[in-house]
Amino acid sequence: MPVQRVDIEEFLSLAASHPVLDVRSPGEFKHAHVPGAISFPLFTDEERKIVGTTYKQKSREEAIKIGLDFFGPTMKDKVVAAETIAASFYKTDNARNTTLLVHCWRGGMRSAAIAWLLDLYGFTVYTLAGGYKRYRNWVLEELSKPHSLRVIGGYTGSGKTELLQALATAGQPVINLEKLASHKGSAFGSIGQPAQPGQEQFENKLALALRSLRTTFSVDTIAPSSVHDVDGDLPPIWIEDESQRIGLVNLPTAFWTTLRQAPVYFLEIPFEERLSHIVAEYGALDKTALIDATTRITKKLGHLQAQQVTDLITENNIKAAFDILLRYYDKLYAKSLQNRKSLEKQLTIIPSTKTGAENLRLVLKG
């Protein structure tokens, strides 16, 4: 079968069950990529620079010749690497006849070269028309669409993330923004988390998560009484109340605006219960990291209280330290709630003495 060039929707559908090889340079891939794609560079960063400079300063033909000088000696290695990837992905000893997806920046010569080689060897190969650039345009289109959201609100320590997990287990459409951002949202949110993605990669992950929900859920997968998305193809998505900025990344403006206008299901959890929850979650974390995070909010927290928190953490009195911090974050969240548009009409209070999954029935009941 000859190499097939497909549009973005077909490419993403195929990517759910086949490996995606990103043949851009390592630097391009590191900056941002299709989530789940495998870096499979045709050129190193330096080689790409040389080819690009030659293209601009001399000619297309001269650039191709130089590119072939780089590509030629690596062809066998590329085939072996592709075979290894396919064998691992499909768990087969006969990887040669499996399917691979290939893309570069604009769907041009780099993907064409790798696709030709892999097709010649015996793989079934699909390339993305327009390449990663088309994917990024699709991401921006996806994030600008209207979505129906249901927001889980509540002061810090209310168990909002645990409730999201329970909703997902119960078969509800959920997006965990903090998981996508690798950050829990506060000054302490990066402690114990993997490195955050860059802004572009965060957007890529969010767009793909939205698409995944759309392909997973339909009018038949949720109770008939459920309200559906504004375009009719997706039930409301449960999401945690967040600031626009989550660590170093920002929610796209259109999505953030939708979140701020969505109905809020507010978990009304007693302070002491929330404090116990926070101490259990953060108490075992590195003390130096906790102190560094406290230092970052000294100006807003106040120098006296910041010093008190630092001293308490040093003394291992975590509960007393987070008693101060929790009251500080309660004030911030209360202010955020007051600034929400049309809040009175869209706020549902969920009174409870519990945190976590126990609130699932109360929230679904509304």
Which residues are identified as catalytic? 104
Alpha-carbon distance of 359 to 362, in angstroms, equals 5
Distance in angstroms (rounded) separating the CA atoms of residues 313 and 318: 6
Q: Report yes or no: 313 and 290 within 8 Å, Cβ to Cβ.
A: yes
Residues 208 and 212: their CA atoms lie apart, in Å, by: 6
Instruction: Give CA angle at 235 (229, 238), nearest 5°.
Output: 105
Residue 326 and residue 297: Cα distance in Å, rounded? Answer: 13
* Token representation of residue 11: 């490419």
Instruction: Please answer whether residues 104 and 128 qualify as being in contact, where contact means their C-beta atoms are separated by less than 8 angstroms.
Output: no
Q: Are strands 249-250 and 245-246 parallel, antiparallel or unpaired?
A: antiparallel
Q: How far apart are CA 318 and CA 316, in angstroms?
A: 5
* Amino acid letter for position 278: I
CA 282 to chain centroid? 23
